[in-house]
Structure 1
Amino acid sequence: MIVNILRTTLGVLVLIPVFLLGLWIRKKKALRSTTEAREPEDIELDSIPEYGNDSHTAAQTEDTEKQEDMV
Protein backbone atom coordinates (compact mmCIF):
# COMPACT_ATOMS: atom_id res chain seq x y z
CA MET A 1 0.00 0.00 0.00
CA ILE A 2 2.80 2.47 0.87
CA VAL A 3 4.59 1.57 -2.36
CA ASN A 4 1.50 2.45 -4.39
CA ILE A 5 1.18 5.82 -2.64
CA LEU A 6 4.86 6.61 -3.26
CA ARG A 7 4.59 5.56 -6.90
CA THR A 8 1.54 7.79 -7.44
CA THR A 9 3.16 10.73 -5.64
CA LEU A 10 6.38 10.43 -7.65
CA GLY A 11 4.37 10.12 -10.85
CA VAL A 12 2.50 13.35 -10.11
CA LEU A 13 5.71 15.13 -9.06
CA VAL A 14 7.38 14.15 -12.34
CA LEU A 15 4.38 15.18 -14.44
CA ILE A 16 4.19 18.70 -12.97
CA PRO A 17 7.63 19.86 -14.29
CA VAL A 18 6.93 18.21 -17.65
CA PHE A 19 3.62 20.09 -17.86
CA LEU A 20 5.27 23.39 -16.89
CA LEU A 21 8.05 22.85 -19.43
CA GLY A 22 5.46 22.25 -22.15
CA LEU A 23 3.64 25.47 -21.26
CA TRP A 24 6.91 27.43 -21.28
CA ILE A 25 7.89 26.11 -24.71
CA ARG A 26 4.42 26.86 -26.05
CA LYS A 27 4.56 30.42 -24.73
CA LYS A 28 8.03 30.91 -26.18
CA LYS A 29 6.87 29.77 -29.64
CA ALA A 30 3.81 32.02 -29.46
CA LEU A 31 5.93 35.06 -28.60
CA ARG A 32 8.35 34.32 -31.42
CA SER A 33 5.57 34.01 -34.01
CA THR A 34 3.91 37.28 -32.93
CA THR A 35 7.14 39.25 -33.16
CA GLU A 36 7.80 37.90 -36.64
CA ALA A 37 4.31 38.81 -37.80
CA ARG A 38 4.64 42.41 -36.65
CA GLU A 39 7.68 43.27 -38.74
CA PRO A 40 7.00 46.33 -40.92
CA GLU A 41 6.51 45.79 -44.60
CA ASP A 42 7.94 47.95 -47.34
CA ILE A 43 5.15 50.11 -48.70
CA GLU A 44 5.54 52.37 -51.71
CA LEU A 45 4.04 55.77 -51.00
CA ASP A 46 3.55 56.55 -54.69
CA SER A 47 1.25 53.56 -55.17
CA ILE A 48 -1.76 55.62 -54.04
CA PRO A 49 -2.02 58.83 -56.09
CA GLU A 50 -4.76 60.36 -53.87
CA TYR A 51 -2.29 60.67 -51.02
CA GLY A 52 0.55 62.12 -53.02
CA ASN A 53 2.50 65.29 -52.32
CA ASP A 54 -0.18 67.94 -51.74
CA SER A 55 2.25 70.85 -52.01
CA HIS A 56 3.26 69.66 -55.46
CA THR A 57 -0.34 69.52 -56.66
CA ALA A 58 -1.04 72.92 -55.09
CA ALA A 59 1.95 74.39 -56.97
CA GLN A 60 0.66 72.93 -60.22
CA THR A 61 -2.75 74.50 -59.60
CA GLU A 62 -1.18 77.92 -58.98
CA ASP A 63 0.92 77.61 -62.15
CA THR A 64 -2.11 76.80 -64.27
CA GLU A 65 -4.03 79.73 -62.74
CA LYS A 66 -1.15 82.08 -63.55
CA GLN A 67 -1.03 80.78 -67.10
CA GLU A 68 -4.78 81.33 -67.51
CA ASP A 69 -4.46 84.88 -66.17
CA MET A 70 -1.71 85.63 -68.68
CA VAL A 71 -3.89 84.54 -71.61
Structure 2
Amino acid sequence: MKVNIIRTTLGVLILIPVFLLSLWMRKKKALRSTTEAHEPEEIELDSDPDYQNDSHTAAQTEDTEEQGDMV
Protein backbone atom coordinates (compact mmCIF):
# COMPACT_ATOMS: atom_id res chain seq x y z
CA MET A 1 0.00 0.00 0.00
CA LYS A 2 2.78 2.44 0.93
CA VAL A 3 4.65 1.51 -2.25
CA ASN A 4 1.63 2.43 -4.38
CA ILE A 5 1.30 5.81 -2.64
CA ILE A 6 5.00 6.54 -3.13
CA ARG A 7 4.80 5.46 -6.79
CA THR A 8 1.78 7.69 -7.41
CA THR A 9 3.41 10.65 -5.64
CA LEU A 10 6.60 10.28 -7.67
CA GLY A 11 4.58 9.99 -10.88
CA VAL A 12 2.74 13.23 -10.10
CA LEU A 13 5.98 14.97 -9.11
CA ILE A 14 7.57 13.95 -12.42
CA LEU A 15 4.54 15.02 -14.46
CA ILE A 16 4.44 18.53 -12.97
CA PRO A 17 7.84 19.64 -14.41
CA VAL A 18 6.99 18.03 -17.74
CA PHE A 19 3.70 19.93 -17.85
CA LEU A 20 5.40 23.21 -16.89
CA LEU A 21 8.09 22.65 -19.52
CA SER A 22 5.48 22.07 -22.21
CA LEU A 23 3.63 25.26 -21.21
CA TRP A 24 6.87 27.23 -21.29
CA MET A 25 7.78 25.90 -24.75
CA ARG A 26 4.29 26.70 -26.03
CA LYS A 27 4.50 30.25 -24.69
CA LYS A 28 7.97 30.71 -26.18
CA LYS A 29 6.76 29.47 -29.58
CA ALA A 30 3.72 31.78 -29.46
CA LEU A 31 5.87 34.80 -28.64
CA ARG A 32 8.30 33.98 -31.45
CA SER A 33 5.54 33.65 -34.03
CA THR A 34 3.90 36.94 -33.03
CA THR A 35 7.16 38.90 -33.14
CA GLU A 36 8.05 37.49 -36.56
CA ALA A 37 4.62 38.34 -37.95
CA HIS A 38 4.89 42.01 -36.99
CA GLU A 39 8.45 42.65 -38.16
CA PRO A 40 8.43 44.88 -41.22
CA GLU A 41 10.08 43.46 -44.28
CA GLU A 42 12.67 45.61 -45.96
CA ILE A 43 11.82 46.06 -49.61
CA GLU A 44 14.39 47.87 -51.66
CA LEU A 45 12.86 49.91 -54.45
CA ASP A 46 15.35 50.81 -57.12
CA SER A 47 14.34 53.77 -59.26
CA ASP A 48 17.19 53.13 -61.74
CA PRO A 49 16.94 49.53 -62.96
CA ASP A 50 20.15 47.61 -63.67
CA TYR A 51 18.78 46.22 -66.91
CA GLN A 52 18.07 47.79 -70.27
CA ASN A 53 15.69 46.92 -73.04
CA ASP A 54 17.99 44.97 -75.36
CA SER A 55 15.31 43.67 -77.71
CA HIS A 56 16.53 45.91 -80.54
CA THR A 57 20.17 44.88 -80.00
CA ALA A 58 19.19 41.19 -79.82
CA ALA A 59 17.25 41.47 -83.09
CA GLN A 60 20.26 43.02 -84.81
CA THR A 61 22.51 40.23 -83.57
CA GLU A 62 20.13 37.56 -84.88
CA ASP A 63 19.93 39.28 -88.29
CA THR A 64 23.72 39.42 -88.51
CA GLU A 65 24.01 35.73 -87.60
CA GLU A 66 21.40 34.76 -90.20
CA GLN A 67 23.22 36.72 -92.86
CA GLY A 68 26.47 34.97 -91.95
CA ASP A 69 24.78 31.56 -92.23
CA MET A 70 23.45 32.35 -95.72
CA VAL A 71 26.93 33.05 -97.12
TM-score (norm 1): 0.57
Aligned twin of 1:9? 9
Counterpart AA for 1:36 = E
Q: In structure 2, how many angstroms separate the alpha carbons of the residues matched to 1:19 and 1:28?
A: 14
**Shift in Å, 1:42:** 5.1
Percent identity of the aligned residues? 84
Aligned twin of 1:28? 28
Q: CA RMSD in A?
A: 1.3
Matched position secondary structure for 1:40:
coil
Count of equivalent residues: 43
Q: In structure 2, how many angstroms separate the alpha carbons of the residues matched to 1:39 and 1:31?
A: 13
Q: Does 1:19 align with 2:19?
A: yes
Give unmatched runs, 5+ long, in structure 2. 44-71
Aligned twin of 1:58? none
**1:14-41 deviations in Å (ceiling 9; x for gaps):** 0000000000000000000000000124
Matched position secondary structure for 1:5:
helix
Higher helix fraction: Structure 1 or Structure 2?
1
After TM superposition, the runs of 4+ consecutive aligned structure 1 residues lying more than 6 A away are none
Give unmatched runs, 5+ long, in structure 1. 44-71
Structure of higher RCO (CA pairs closer than 8 Å, 6+ residues apart) = 1
